Structure formats: C-alpha cells, structure tokens
Structure 1
C-alpha cells in the first residue's frame, strides 16, 4: 500500500529490489510519482541500490543494464571534491558491498556526484540538501554478502566474477564501511528533523 500523503512521514527511504527500474512495472511508476512529490515537498529521502536508481529515474535520469556486468562483493569508492565536509574520511573514500548489474547512465539535472569508482561512476549522489543516495549496500555485512553471492551465483552471476568477489570477502580482515555510511544517512535525516536528534 502506498502512503496517502508525503507528509505521512518525516523522512523517506527507498531500498533495494530484485527488479530493474527500466521494467516500468505499475508499482514502480507510482513510486516514482511519490519520489517526485517528496522531492517537491523538500522532505528528506535516502535511496539504496534500486532506490538510488529509481530516484534518479524519477527525477529525470536514466538507468540501464550496465555493459560492465555485475558489480558484486566489496567495492571501493572515492569521495569526490563535491562531497560535503560531513562525508569526509581519513582515506578519502569508503568500501561497501555491492550487488547490482544496473547503473545510472544519465544523471538528473542539478545532481552532485559525491562518490565514484572505476566500475560505478555515479556511486553516491546528493540532490540539493534533501536527497542522498548510494549504489552500494551499507546494510550488507561481509557475511551476508558472502551468503547472498553464493546463492545468486547459481542464478546468473558469472562464475569468474563471483569467485573473485568471494576471494576478497574471505580474506582475513575483509571489512566494509557500512556503519560509517549508515551514520551519514542518519545524520542526513537529523539535519532535517524539526525537533532535533530526540525525534529519531
């Protein structure tokens, strides 16, 4: 069920999906309309993976199946000069687990690219001061990604790419920055909370 009003929530999160944005299923079109209404209202919104892509498509961008194929396992992203001060890290970047074969191929007008990689040019985006999105999954631990990759290896992910990803995931000390990125998202919502941190 879709909300009756964008004011039903103080902030919004668009999450992952097994579907591709370009499938244009009826519920996706309804969700894209909701995204546009949220954006017009200036309410805070975050998008992860499919959510990252759907928000871009809804606001004038384009999403396609990437010629680079599947992005899986641990991916390293570099922060760009457009990244705000509150997104800085000592290394100048961050690592997240990825699980996607679709990518944003054209940005909506006025979007800031705040993180990028050789594999995923538009890895993290800011839309004004009200929307933040990430292609990677801050909610995926290395254990979860390993299990998911082993499962999905049987359903279309090329064996060579899956094997390389699993090798890195299984290395001693393999880690991701999901907690760091999650805090960025939480802090982003806090910036828009009318009653401060206590409300969250």
Structure 2
C-alpha cells in the first residue's frame, strides 16, 4: 500500500523546529499498525503535488495553522486536487485542516468556531459507525487545536462523530473519504508546547481548560486503527 501524506503545516516557528513535522507524526502513527506500507510526505504547502491522483493508493491531508479560506495558491490547488480525488474515488483522510479542506473543496462551508477554540484533549462521541470503524468505539479522546470548523457539510457527507465544540467532529463521503476535526497524530510533548505557544493569543480560561484536559490520555492510536482499515477496504 502506497500512502501519500500531504503536508499542509506552514508553521516555521521554534515549535515546529523542535518537533517532527506532521508527515513524520503520521508515519509514526500509521507504521505502528502497518509497518510494511510505503509512506511518502509531499509538501503541498510549498505548492508541490503528485503528478497524478493515481500515483498513490491513499492520501492523508494533514493539519495546518493556515485557514482553508486563505487566498494562497497552494490552498486553491489543494481544493482542485481534492476534487480530483473525489471524482476518482481515491481513499482520502483529512485531519483538522485536511478535514476542513475536503469539506470546503466539495461544497461545504468552513468558518470560525462559534464556541471559540478547541484545544487540548476532547472526546468525540461516535453515533454512527461504518465498515472500517472496527472495533466500534463509541467515544475517543483526541487532541484538538482549531479555531475554525466545518459549518456546513458537502453534499453526500455523513456525520460520524461530534462533541460540544465541534458538531462535525468526523464525517465520511461514500467509501472513499474519512475525516476528523481532531489530531490523532499529535504527541503529548508537542501538545504541551503548542498550548504554551498559543497562550499568547488564546483566552486564559481556554488555556486552563486545555491544560487540565491533558491530565487524561489521548487515543490517537485507536483512531489510527480505523485509518489503516479504511485504506484496506475493498472498493
């Protein structure tokens, strides 16, 4: 199985320099489940894309501090690429920015979180399970770091999970698109440093809530099990 990780993270601060990039994070996460697969990171943030959507068996679109509503050329090109992936029914997973980019590219709407930042560990309740979500966890705790969210779904999308801060916490389209607003790939040390960085501009009560939440344990590894089974689904 050949998996392309489409790197959308535009952060070039000390935070990113002190931690593996998102491509490496997803490699660590997925390779624990499927060490024999081939994983390649493609820096879409630098406007680099596969020559063809058929170059890989599946795609993961990472998070990013950029907004899917930004006018950057690479974001417009990503939306075009997502539309090609959809037409070809190529298995595609989006996380946070990737989740939002898929929604926006296919006719949905993304905007500011009405309830403010989602930050720290949040539990998503899964009220619907599709074939690859096995075992069918009713709830998963995942890291969150987002000030925007999907406000309107694209046509044909089905909400799989939600919580108070992100009513569209996860969705699917057919058998070829699977998304999460959250971050299965993030590690505790990265999240701790991220909260310290965003404390400069995020309300103190949000920071306190985030730090308190991190006494719990995120379950990204369980979500990763769903991810690999999604890619393996017969189509």
- Is the TM-score greater than 0.5? yes
* 1-structure distance, mates of 2:219, 2:102: 23
Report deviation, 1:71: 0.5
The residue number in structure 1 matching 2:228 is 186
Q: How many residues are paired up? A: 188
The residue number in structure 2 matching 1:95 is 141
Secondary structure (helix, strand or coil) at the match of 1:27 reads helix
**Within the alignment, does 1:75 sit opposite 2:122 as a pair?**
yes
5 Å-filtered alignment, 1:146-185, equals 146-154=192-200, 156-169=201-214, 171=215, 174-185=216-227
Stretches of 4+ aligned residues off by more than 4 angstroms: 88-91
CA contact (8 A) 1:97 1:136 kept: yes
The residue number in structure 1 matching 2:89 is 42
Secondary structure (helix, strand or coil) at the match of 1:181 reads helix
Secondary structure (helix, strand or coil) at the match of 1:87 reads coil
**Within the alignment, does 1:8 sit opposite 2:50 as a pair?**
no
Report deviation, 1:86: 4.2
Q: 2:73 aligns with which of 11, 26, 33?
A: 26
Secondary structure (helix, strand or coil) at the match of 1:157 reads coil
The residue number in structure 1 matching 2:30 is none
CA contact (8 A) 1:53 1:103 kept: yes
CA contact (8 A) 1:113 1:125 kept: yes
CA separation of 1:39 and 1:69: change in aligned 2, threshold 3 A = same
The residue number in structure 1 matching 2:43 is none
Deviations along 1:160-185, one digit per CA (max 9) or x if unpaired, are: 1111210221x3xx201100001111
Report deviation, 1:145: 1.0
Secondary structure (helix, strand or coil) at the match of 1:21 reads coil
Report deviation, 1:142: 2.6
Report deviation, 1:89: 5.6
* 2-structure distance, mates of 1:84, 1:119: 23
Q: 2:152 aligns with which of 106, 109, 112?
A: 106
Deviations along 1:5-24, one digit per CA (max 9) or x if unpaired, are: 11111111111111011113
Secondary structure (helix, strand or coil) at the match of 1:23 reads coil
* 1-structure distance, mates of 2:64, 2:101: 10
Report deviation, 1:141: 2.2
CA RMSD across the alignment: 1.6
CA contact (8 A) 1:79 1:88 kept: no
For structure 1, list consecutive stretches of 5 or more residues without a partner in the other structure.
194-200
* 2-structure distance, mates of 1:56, 1:79: 19
For structure 2, list consecutive stretches of 5 or more residues without a partner in the other structure.
1-47
Secondary structure (helix, strand or coil) at the match of 1:22 reads coil
